[in-house]
Structure 1
Amino acid sequence: MKKYLTMFLIMLILSGCVEKEILDDVNLITSTGFDLVEEDKIKGSAVINTYIKDQPVNDYVITGESKLSRDILDNMQKKSPDPLVLGKIEIVVFGEQLANKGISDLVDTLQRDAAIGERLLLAVSKGEAQSVLESKFENQGASNFISNLILHNKLNRDLPRTNLHLFLYQFYSKGQDPYLPYIKKNEQTGGVAIDGLALFDDKKVVGSISNDQLLFFKVLADQYTKGVYTLDLPENNNSAGIKSIASSRKLRVISLEPLKVEVKVKIEGYIQEYTGKRITPEVIKEVEQVFEQKMKNEINSLFTYFKELKIDPVGIGDQIRSQSREFTIENWRERIPELTVDIKPDVIISESGVIE
């Protein structure tokens, strides 16, 4: 009994030694942005929320510049009336110019900060990150709006999963390259929207995927999608909206010399909307065949693009290594261009939606 009492007293004393931060006495940073302002200088933008009773959330932005990422927050502190704290940060946005040069040092700084969780969202902005964070977000504030924008499109649409933890895993992996969502500010309306994916080779952006290609990429990268795709049917000049409810992908190594793999992609869904008069079995069959051919063409186009850039955002290298002990991952990037991928699509339309 004395042993447990002693342990309790020690814990009580130690808890009193922990540095406390009263919320009313600090400024909680909810989102940040980083932009390249000179060849060797970075500008950081921190969004701070202010709350007034019965009033919408109000954002204000504090900026700081430095050649070292670790000094940016210190420079921001000099402009803040209260201490800046990163404990509530939800998203970090990297400006396009900075992302094209490289963000590995900044990401390394983020992962070393104990106040930042692994589920922190990351994104690349078209244009300056500060401009995106200063957009019009109605009553939500920048952090809530952009975070919800990414999470909603990840869970219910075609955006693949991304966060700090996944980015770091892909970054340090020798058999996969990272990717992050692109977000773009509409200069006319002031709003912000998803604008495809930024593709990295090692530490910098080298390519991109458009919104129209996201569904096909997510099938490869996530093996599951709830996306919607509009399909043109050439036989009757109608269109069908396909809602995917499940998908899977299986990869099989055919040979290492020459390097060849088979990728089976299966999507099950239903026709959510159809411009024709009636959805018949013949229409469903046509939709399946046209969608299979579309998938094959689009996925082949993606792999051709990846081979040109010598990148592997899908993680083919990791999967080949898991199936073959003879495969050498160290020279995978140099072997990417010689990869042959045989796509085997399978589309099953299980329902025709509520229209029928």
Structure 2
Amino acid sequence: MPDKKAVLHLLIILTLLTACTQTREIERLGIINTMGVDISEDDQQLDLTMIIFQFDDQAAGLTKTLIGKGNTMRAARDDASTRSAYHLVTGQLKYQLFGKDAAEQGILRYLNTFVRDATTSETMLMAVSNQKAEETLSTGQELTEINIGQFLYGMIEQEEVENKIPRSDLQMFSRTQFAPGQDPWLPVIDIKEELPTMVSMGVFQDDRYVGEISLKEAFYLNLFLNRIQPAPLELTLPREPFKPYMPGGQEDNGNKEDLHIKIQLKGDTTAKLVDKESLRYQVDVKVKVRLDEFSEVVVVKNEKVAELFEKEIAKKIKSEYESLLKKLQEMQSDPFGFGKLYRIQKKDGEMTSDEWRELFPRITADFHVEADIVHYGTIQ
């Protein structure tokens, strides 16, 4: 038999612990799902837009928009709470949108709040808005039938799942931002045809937004950073080499110079610093390609034609990477992480971001692309 005194002590402890637990009825909570951060043009204070869920059956709708102002995130949230009958909590915060003005000044000070908050998920997605974040969220909430935060989260998550863009969550940004030799990136959202749309990928110097690359270039960035599974990609190749394999292709067909192809591509990339003094890198890109569709009929009936496609696809991807590197060097942003490869070869393994800013524009990279057609037939 257990000791009666021990059992009594246990019951007392459990009672006290239960009494200390703070409970809140869900009907009294405003659960923050999405936040938008802007810098006020008038006083340079923080303007915070929040989309919240409210489960009170007396409320007019499930979703509500609140706006607060303050010098810090917490102060702005407290300001917004004075206009709400609900206790605001961040336990379901899934999406954070930064107005371009705020992103250009640096977003680390806003992220610190969430890094310290155990209720914030590291998988919270983030993006930059071409308009004010408040405008994008408010307009988007009027135009979409679901919560705008859920809409944007689903849109970006789907692009990541399909390997079209690299991850863009809180964990990725924080880890990259604090690693000298690599800069972060975030999707850019704009209002197009009356709907919030991802239009490009923003690139950063440390935590400051400095420019953007196209979504196709974001695909190449993802291929550089990760081993990717089959993902769709459209390429423009020169038409001339394929004319012998086009029915009637000897004709100019309206003087067209390009052949547009849609492919499925999977592969990975390895990069290494081959000459530390001259800052020269070698990048090997190996991809497997499935031909899906052409803008004109091309008969791919033997290995000779397939090898021609492999050659032209490899040349195109190589050219795209060279152009992308040049663009990033002009913006002095290194999302590729060439700086990390340089840093690990230093004797002490130490390097500052400022040091890499001086070196990055001077690096050269030899891109070697190997394309392998895994399926071919008569494609139209």
**TM-score (normalizing by structure 1):** 0.90
The answer to whether structure 1 residue 298 and structure 2 residue 301 are counterparts is no
Contact 2:314–2:370 (8 Å) recurs in 1: yes
CA distance in structure 1 between the aligned counterparts of 2:169 and 2:217, rounded to whole angstroms: 20
CA distance in structure 2 between the aligned counterparts of 1:174 and 1:106, rounded to whole angstroms: 20
CA distance in structure 2 between the aligned counterparts of 1:231 and 1:306, rounded to whole angstroms: 21
Q: Deviation of residue 58 (structure 1)?
A: 4.7
**SS of the residue aligned with 1:158?**
coil
The answer to whether structure 1 residue 78 and structure 2 residue 99 are counterparts is no
Contact 2:300–2:377 (8 Å) recurs in 1: no
2:39 corresponds in structure 1 to: 36
Contact 1:239–1:276 (8 Å) recurs in 2: no
**Unpaired segments ≥5 residues, structure 2:** 244-257
Partner letter of residue 310 of structure 1? Q
Matches within 5 A, 1:127-138: 127-134=131-138, 135=140, 136=142, 138=144
The answer to whether structure 1 residue 65 and structure 2 residue 69 are counterparts is yes
Q: Deviation of residue 49 (structure 1)?
A: 2.9
CA distance in structure 2 between the aligned counterparts of 1:100 and 1:195, rounded to whole angstroms: 18
The answer to whether structure 1 residue 270 and structure 2 residue 290 are counterparts is yes
Deviations for 1:271-321, whole angstroms, at most 9, x for unmatched residues? 121331533334422221121111111111111122222221111222333
- The partner residue of 1:181 within 171, 184, 187 is 187
1:162 corresponds in structure 2 to: 168
The answer to whether structure 1 residue 260 and structure 2 residue 264 are counterparts is no
The answer to whether structure 1 residue 337 and structure 2 residue 361 are counterparts is yes
**SS of the residue aligned with 2:20?**
coil
Identify if the C-alpha distance between structure 1 residues 213 and 57 changes in structure 2 by more than 3 Å, giving closer, same or farther. Answer: farther
2:335 corresponds in structure 1 to: 313
Q: CA RMSD in A?
A: 2.6
- The partner residue of 2:370 within 340, 346, 352 is 346
Larger CA deviation: 231-240 vs 31-40: 231-240
1:242 corresponds in structure 2 to: 263
Identity of aligned residues (%): 24
- The partner residue of 1:142 within 119, 143, 148 is 148
Partner letter of residue 315 of structure 2? Q
Matches within 5 A, 1:108-127: 108-127=112-131
Q: Deviation of residue 51 (structure 1)?
A: 5.9
**Unpaired segments ≥5 residues, structure 1:** none
Partner letter of residue 193 of structure 1? T
- The partner residue of 2:23 within 20, 35, 50 is 20
Identify if the C-alpha distance between structure 1 residues 9 and 210 changes in structure 2 by more than 3 Å, giving closer, same or farther. Answer: farther
CA distance in structure 1 between the aligned counterparts of 2:329 and 2:233, rounded to whole angstroms: 26
Deviations for 1:294-350, whole angstroms, at most 9, x for unmatched residues? 111111111112222222111122233345646652322221122111111111111
Q: Deviation of residue 121 (structure 1)?
A: 0.9
1:172 corresponds in structure 2 to: 178
Partner letter of residue 329 of structure 1? M
Q: Deviation of residue 26 (structure 1)?
A: 0.8
Identify if the C-alpha distance between structure 1 residues 310 and 138 changes in structure 2 by more than 3 Å, giving closer, same or farther. Answer: closer
Partner letter of residue 208 of structure 2? K
CA distance in structure 2 between the aligned counterparts of 1:103 and 1:354, rounded to whole angstroms: 51
**SS of the residue aligned with 1:329?**
coil
CA distance in structure 1 between the aligned counterparts of 2:160 and 2:261, rounded to whole angstroms: 23
CA distance in structure 2 between the aligned counterparts of 1:299 and 1:89, rounded to whole angstroms: 36
Partner letter of residue 374 of structure 2? S
Contact 2:163–2:222 (8 Å) recurs in 1: no
**TM-score (normalizing by structure 2):** 0.84
Deviations for 1:136-184, whole angstroms, at most 9, x for unmatched residues? 4533211211111010000114111111011000111112111111111
Q: Deviation of residue 213 (structure 1)?
A: 1.6
